[in-house]
């Protein structure tokens, strides 16, 4: 049995959302499963000195245009939210708490949270929004709220971010297949060929 | 008659080289011509505060790996040169001097210079290498050498860089089709659809 593919993303990354919409089907078509790994771009940027894409001179304006054009190209709904980017600690912590209970439920929560943000413009930096979405996917709202107030889940997310950085993850989305790293949703054609051929 | 497509690139950019190998044929298939526009990433980075890709933490190592994998994916020869990146003022100035005399010859020179650097590992930051390549494509070596020593061609390249920045060019390759900007060789699929459909 092949190892799962690792899929790293930040909940505030449009390109991460575009990958989230296709990575499971793409992997399944080649008999592979996917481990979803939300992380915080902010934690990575502390190491790399990078800055959020939307605030970069020239590149920021281009990127906002490219987000929406890329969505149309991929046939995905996407509207850049009024508040963008946002902090995604709460969504990421909720993901890991859910994953410890039911990995498939955690993935459904993650995709729903990405759609809530990038399609419906819902501010998923807020705990209430995260709890609503998790509860709608079967989570125990009160138990999740209690977990989010504790230190354990904070430390867990810190660990996950440190592991991502240790594996060379510097952007979102970032996919690792049998040790081979692919950054960006525009690497999907290379990912497909890699899965088809076992490497090239 | 449709306006030419503008193709901006730095002679030291592997992704620019990958685009140079395909942009003319891609445009011609849709009845379009291409204006090649070498510029200096260094001039852009002074405005944007960006830094050369290979020296970025985490992203630099990934990029070197991705250059070579992307070349294999595209079926292009490419070996990251020992001296990389390099200053490309001389190559870019030579291009504009040639272009004023014969645009097709200038394009052949540019593609030959990119291949000399990325396939044969020749250091095209050196004037002798640039003169050799230009002469091999029909240029008057002595006249080009004289032009490269003067101020006129320096000012010309400065103007071209300023114009590129004014049009929002922040990376290499950068393609503009009827005002629509596309950054990166990984935008070729979107460029193809744009040319096929007139926009999407």
What pLDDT score was predicted for residue B2?
85
Q: Which residue of B has its CA nearest to A166?
A: B58
Q: Which residues contact B21 (CB under 8 A, 6 or more apart)?
A: B74, B76, B111
- pLDDT tens, position by position, A156-176: 999 999 999 999 999 999 999
- pLDDT tens, position by position, B137-189: 999 999 999 999 999 999 999 999 999 999 999 999 999 999 999 999 999 99
Q: Are A10 and A16 in contact (CB under 8 A)?
A: yes
Cross-strand pairs, B128: none
Q: Is A37 helix (H, G, I), strand (E, B) or coil?
A: strand
Q: Which residue of A has its CA nearest to B49?
A: A57
- Selected for mutation to probe chain A from B61, B64, B69 (highest A CB count within 10 Å) is B69
What's the whole-number mean pLDDT along residues B100-126?
Answer: 97
Chain-centre distance for alpha carbon B148: 19
Nearest to A56 among B48, B66, B69 (CB): B48
- The strand pair at B34-38 and B5-9 is best described as parallel
Q: Is the pLDDT of residue A12 over 70?
A: yes
B34: its two tokens? 């291409």
Nearest to A186 among B44, B65, B186 (CB): B186
Chain A residues bordering chain B (beta-carbon distance below 8 Å):
44, 47-50, 56-59, 61-62, 65-66, 69-70, 72-73, 165, 168-171, 181, 183-184, 186-187, 189-190, 193, 200
What pLDDT score was predicted for residue A133?
98
Which residues in chain B are closer than 8 Å to A184, comparing Cβ atoms?
186
Please tell me the distance in Å from A190's CA to the nearest CA on chain B: 7
CB contact under 8 A, B48 and A59: yes
Q: Which residues contact B116 (CB under 8 A, 6 or more apart)?
A: B122, B124, B129, B133
Residue A24 CB coordination number (10 Å): 17
Torsion of CA A135, A6, A64, B40, to 10 degrees: 160
What is the dihedral sign for C-alpha B139, B140, B146, B152? Answer: negative
Q: Which residues contact A112 (CB under 8 A, 6 or more apart)?
A: A133, A136, A137
Chain-centre distance for alpha carbon B41: 10
Residue A104 CB coordination number (10 Å): 10
- pLDDT tens, position by position, B32-89: 999 999 999 999 999 999 999 888 999 999 999 999 999 999 999 999 999 999 999 9
What pLDDT score was predicted for residue A2?
85
The values of phi and psi at residue B27, to 5°, are -70, -45
Q: State the complex-level ipTM.
A: 0.94
What pLDDT score was predicted for residue A1?
67
Q: Are B32 and B5 in contact (CB under 8 A)?
A: yes
- The strand pair at A180-183 and A34-38 is best described as unpaired
CB contact under 8 A, B59 and A171: yes
Domains of chain A, first to last: 5-197 (3.40.30.10)
CB contact under 8 A, A73 and B171: no
CB contact under 8 A, B168 and A73: no
Give the pLDDT band of residue B1 (cuts 50, 70, 90): low
Strand (E) or helix (H) holding A108: helix A103-118
Give the C-alpha separation, A195 to A122, whole Å: 35
Please tell me the distance in Å from B66's CA to the nearest CA on chain A: 8
Q: Record the pTM.
A: 0.96
Q: Are B5 and B176 in contact (CB under 8 A)?
A: yes
**For residue A192, cis peptide bond before it (omega within 30 degrees of 0):** no
- Selected for mutation to probe chain A from B43, B46, B52, B57 (highest A CB count within 10 Å) is B57
Q: Which residue of B has its CA nearest to A73?
A: B190
Chain B residues bordering chain A (beta-carbon distance below 8 Å):
44, 47-50, 56-59, 61-62, 65-66, 69-70, 72-73, 165, 168-171, 181, 183-184, 186-187, 189-190, 193, 200
CB contact under 8 A, A57 and B69: no
């Amino acid at each position: 049995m092949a190892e799962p593919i690792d899929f790293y993303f930040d909940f505030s990354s449009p390109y991460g959302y575009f990958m989230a919409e296709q990575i499971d089907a793409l992997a399944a078509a080649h008999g592979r499963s996917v481990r979803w790994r939300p992380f915080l771009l902010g934690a990575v940027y502390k190491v790399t000195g990078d800055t959020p894409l939307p605030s970069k001179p020239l590149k920021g304006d281009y990127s906002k245009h490219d987000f929406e054009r890329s969505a149309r190209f991929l046939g995905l709904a996407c509207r850049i939210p009024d508040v963008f980017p946002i902090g995604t600690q709460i969504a990421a912590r909720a993901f890991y708490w859910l994953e410890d209970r039911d990995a498939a439920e955690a993935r459904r929560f993650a995709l729903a949270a990405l759609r809530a943000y990038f399609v419906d413009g819902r501010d998923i930096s807020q705990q209430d929004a995260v709890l609503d979405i998790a509860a709608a996917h079967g989570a125990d709202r009160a138990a999740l709220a209690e977990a989010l107030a504790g230190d354990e889940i904070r430390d867990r997310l810190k660990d996950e971010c440190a592991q991502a950085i240790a594996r060379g993850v510097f952007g979102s989305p970032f996919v690792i297949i049998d040790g081979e790293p692919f950054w960006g949703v525009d690497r999907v054609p290379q990912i497909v060929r890699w899965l088809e051929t076992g490497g090239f």
